[in-house]
Amino acid sequence: MNRKISYFAAVALAMGLCCAPVAGAASMATVVLYAGSTQATNDASLTPVDLSNPSFQNGTWHHYFDFLANFNPANSGEDFSAAILNVTYGSGIVPITKAGVSGGTANKWFPNNPTSPSAGVNTFGTNQDGGTLGDVQGITIIQSDPGVALSTQVGETGGELGRPSKFGRVGFAFTGPLTADTFVGIQPGSGQVFSYFTGNDAGAGTTVTQATGITGSSYAIAAAVPEPGVLPATASLVGISLLGMRARRRRLA
């Protein structure tokens, strides 16, 4: 029987395993979670299944994974602004539309972009598959308004989306048998991939943009005990920072 670790236990374990971000610089650590599976043409009702069972390794089953992130401020007054991310995957699976279609330019990135209760606008100004639509590469997530960033505090303890904060979801279907190289992951894109606000205690911060600062992660399907909100024992825990667990600073009244 495969060992399983709840997400919260995995975070606690990661505190002793991961390396701290570069001193003086904010960082972001990503998380991949299995959300569940369905044979329907939408993801409204998902059920956990045993992904190692060949019965579920075919095109009629759609398996969904959520992509989340912890934002780790290095100094007071820092909030998430933007990230460019690539969804990655191993052998035997392909990303699909909610109708189960693979290939082509149909949308396969399903963003999480709710209305912020305190800001009254969407959490992100942009949350979409950038570049070639449908290839789940160059996922672009942006909040350019420092006031909204202060209200939402994406990826921070006490933030509106929780910690870690969900950015979006992708469905996959099997095209072949499960192998040791069957995984779903997320990695930083290319170029200037990470932005955050500094001096944002009053919602009027300035933006720092850089090519580093995002730690990718992966979910090894072959070793997983599929259960929503549960990380496999072999999942990458690197990058879930102890610094990111500190208490959220006080929001403006």
Question: How far apart (Å, rounded) are the C-alpha atoms in residues 118 and 88?
Answer: 34
Q: Which of 6-15, 113-122, 151-160, 166-175 has the lowest mean pLDDT?
A: 6-15
pLDDT band at residue 76, thresholds of 50, 70 and 90? very high
Residue 82's Cβ-count burial label (10 Å; 0-12, 13-18, 19+) is buried
- Are 62 and 19 within 8 A, CB to CB? no
Q: What are phi and psi of 54, to 5 degrees?
A: -55, -20
So what's the pLDDT on residue 13?
35
So what's the pLDDT on residue 151?
98
pLDDT band at residue 104, thresholds of 50, 70 and 90? very high
So what's the pLDDT on residue 69?
98
Question: How far apart (Å, rounded) are the C-alpha atoms in residues 35 and 67?
Answer: 10
Q: What are phi and psi of 236, to 5 degrees?
A: -70, 125
Over range 103-129, report the average pLDDT.
97
- Are 62 and 172 within 8 A, CB to CB? yes
Question: How far apart (Å, rounded) are the C-alpha atoms in residues 47 and 226?
Answer: 10
Q: Which is more confidently placed, 30 or 10? A: 30
Question: How far apart (Å, rounded) are the C-alpha atoms in residues 240 and 10?
Answer: 9
Tens-digit pLDDT profile for residues 230-240: 544 334 433 33
pLDDT band at residue 229, thresholds of 50, 70 and 90? low
Q: Report whether pLDDT(90) > 70.
A: yes
Could you tell me whether strands 214-215 and 27-38 are parallel, antiparallel, or unpaired per DSSP bridges? parallel
Tens-digit pLDDT profile for residues 9-28: 444 333 333 434 445 799 99
Kindly report the average pLDDT of the chain as a whole number.
Answer: 84
